[in-house]
Amino acid sequence: MYCKDHDEVCCTTCIALNHRSCTHVHSIPDEISELFDAKIQEDMTLYLQSRESRFKHIELKTTEAMKDLESSRKEADMMIDFAKQNLVAHIEKLSKQAKDEVGKEYLATKEQIVKKRQEAVEMTDDIRMKLIDFETLTGGNRSQQFVRMKIANKKLKEEKQMETALKCNAMTNTCISFEIDSRIQVFLQDIKTLGRLSFTRGTRRYTVDTIKDVNVKLQDDKATCDISGSCLIEDGPLLLTDSRNKKLKSVNIETMAVENVYTFGHIPYCLCSTSKDEVVVTFYKHSNFILFILFTAKPSHSRKVNINHNCFGIAYGDDKLYITDKAQTLYIHDMTGNELQKISTDSLGIALFSKIRDISFSDSMQCAVAVDESKGVIIFNDQYQHIARYCDPELQGAAAVCTDDEGNIFVCGYYSHNVLQLGYDGKKIVDVVGKSHGIPSPVSLCFDSSRQRLVVSPQNGRDIVKIIQLMY
């Protein structure tokens, strides 16, 4: 049995117990021709294949991650051993220096003691000779005794002074002691670890594997397509804004076919997803408002929010909207349209933008990345502070930006006909797409993290969107 009200298949007993009030209960064998939909089965097959592919990809990447983790642990252990060896070698060097200083002081002091000892021996001998000489005159000529006595007395005074000097010098600096530098003890007591432990992911360097063209022109389109914006809904379709035909088009990422359309009264330009079934769209000329669109089975207008400035590029992150005005300012709004902050200058008051275009928010790095047509890529931290910039002649006319789930940044150049991969620090990692790949004047980018696909909309391709399968 099948209960359509609850979309459940069950036995007759369950129908009788749990679905007695349901009005749309069917016997599967009797009504299979009406219940079975080959299109739904086809979609389910494609969906399951997509899910299988995603989990296989996760399995592969986790295996690679485990290998990298094991390798990094061994490298960290080697660094610890190396640090230990360096510390031991340095301590041994300090120990040798200290012993050399002790030896030097020992030799200098020993030399002084030996010298004084020799002087004392000489003085002892001199006094003994005087004593013998003085004793031989006893009972003799008194005049000579008197003279000898006075000479001896004078000599004794000199020798007494010498004795005092010898005694003081001999008893001083005869012991060597060593005391460790207290700063070393304090430092070692304060140190709780040999170094700082950090966990980092290896930088991916993407390259092009394959490129597929998707024609998004529909029979009822009145003009050649002009795809100005793109985004991916979680586990859902690729959404494209077709400015010239005033449409929001939904593309099945597996079949590469347009399956759903929403038509606007104004010219749509950029868009971003705010949830698994909602997007928000900006408009090219009537640009002082944004529209929220529910993109379920049948797309519908959710709500309109008026904004007090021009709206061009748009991104969603941390429950906020980041909106550019295609001039010199980046605005941050809450989800009801209230302005929270605007950014136009750096900490020194210097203008950050001249013609800001697109904006992207990286959930993994909690940062916003903006592109300016002439000033390149500008990166902000979670406090909206400008922390890095990339501006180079190889990126001309920066038009669009997006990020992967590891903080890598992709930016396309309208005039340089390329896509570059940058790091969070604003440094270039690699040229992902070049002129040889045939992406003329790209104007929009989005990244499919689950499939490692880069979606590029070339201005001169018009009806064609490029699906670029990347590898690393």
Is 313 in contact with 358 (CB distance < 8 Å)? Answer: yes
| 106 burial type by CB count under 10 A (0-12 exposed, 13-18 middle, 19+ buried) | exposed
Average pLDDT over residues 396-414: 94
CA distance 270 to 110: 89
Q: Does residue 156 carry a pLDDT above 90?
A: no
Query: What is the pLDDT at residue 140?
Result: 60
Average pLDDT over residues 349-365: 93
Q: Does residue 1 carry a pLDDT above 80?
A: yes
CA distance 407 to 219: 39
Instruction: Write out the H or E segment, with its range, that includes residue 440.
Output: none
CA distance 387 to 366: 13
CB count in 10 Å sphere of residue 383: 8
CA distance 302 to 336: 13
Which residues have CB under 8 Å from 257's CB, separation 6+? 251
Reference 326, options 310, 338, 345; nearest CA is 310
Q: Does residue 461 carry a pLDDT above 70?
A: no
Q: Give percent of the chain above pLDDT 90.
A: 46
Average pLDDT over residues 336-347: 94
Angle between helices 142-170 and 38-136 (to 10 degrees): 170
Q: What is the residue extent of each domain of the chain?
A: 84-190, 207-471
Write the DSSP assignment of 153-168 as a string of letters.
Answer: HHHHHHHHHHHHHHHH
In one-letter notation, the amino acid at residue 25 is V
Is 117 strand, coil or helix? helix
* DSSP letter (8 states) at residue 297: S
In one-letter notation, the amino acid at residue 174 is T
Is 196 strand, coil or helix? coil
What are 238's strand-pairing partners?
Answer: 232, 251
Higher pLDDT, 421 or 167: 421
CA distance 214 to 257: 7
Across all residues in the chain, what is the average pLDDT?
86
CA distance 300 to 347: 43
**β-strand 278-283 against 268-275: which pairing, if any?**
antiparallel
- Residue count (the chain): 472
Per-position b or e across 257-268, b if 16+ CB within 10 A of its CB: ebebebebeebb
Q: Would you give the distance in Å from CA 349 to the centre of its chain?
A: 26
pLDDT band of residue 118 (cuts 50, 70, 90) is: confident
Q: Does residue 129 carry a pLDDT above 80?
A: no
pLDDT band of residue 299 (cuts 50, 70, 90) is: confident
CB count in 10 Å sphere of residue 213: 14
pLDDT band of residue 326 (cuts 50, 70, 90) is: very high
According to DSSP H, which parts of 285-438 are helical?
none
Is 96 strand, coil or helix? helix
CA distance 339 to 361: 17
Q: Does residue 67 carry a pLDDT above 60?
A: yes
In one-letter notation, the amino acid at residue 262 is Y
Q: Which residue has the tokens 């007090």?
A: 308
Is 371 in contact with 411 (CB distance < 8 Å)? Answer: yes
CATH class of the structural domain 207-471 = mainly beta
Q: Would you give the distance in Å from CA 361 to the centre of its chain?
A: 14
Is 238 in contact with 253 (CB distance < 8 Å)? Answer: yes
CA distance 229 to 243: 9
Count of alpha carbons within 13 Å of 115, Cβ hemisphere only? Answer: 8
* DSSP letter (8 states) at residue 360: E
Query: What is the pLDDT at residue 234?
Result: 78
CA distances from 98 to 39, 84, 112, 180 (A): 86, 21, 21, 10
pLDDT band of residue 410 (cuts 50, 70, 90) is: very high
- Read off the tokens for 418: 């390329």
- Read off the tokens for 229: 């914006």
CA distance 431 to 28: 56
CA distance 243 to 266: 9
Is 242 in contact with 221 (CB distance < 8 Å)? Answer: yes
Is 423 in contact with 405 (CB distance < 8 Å)? Answer: no
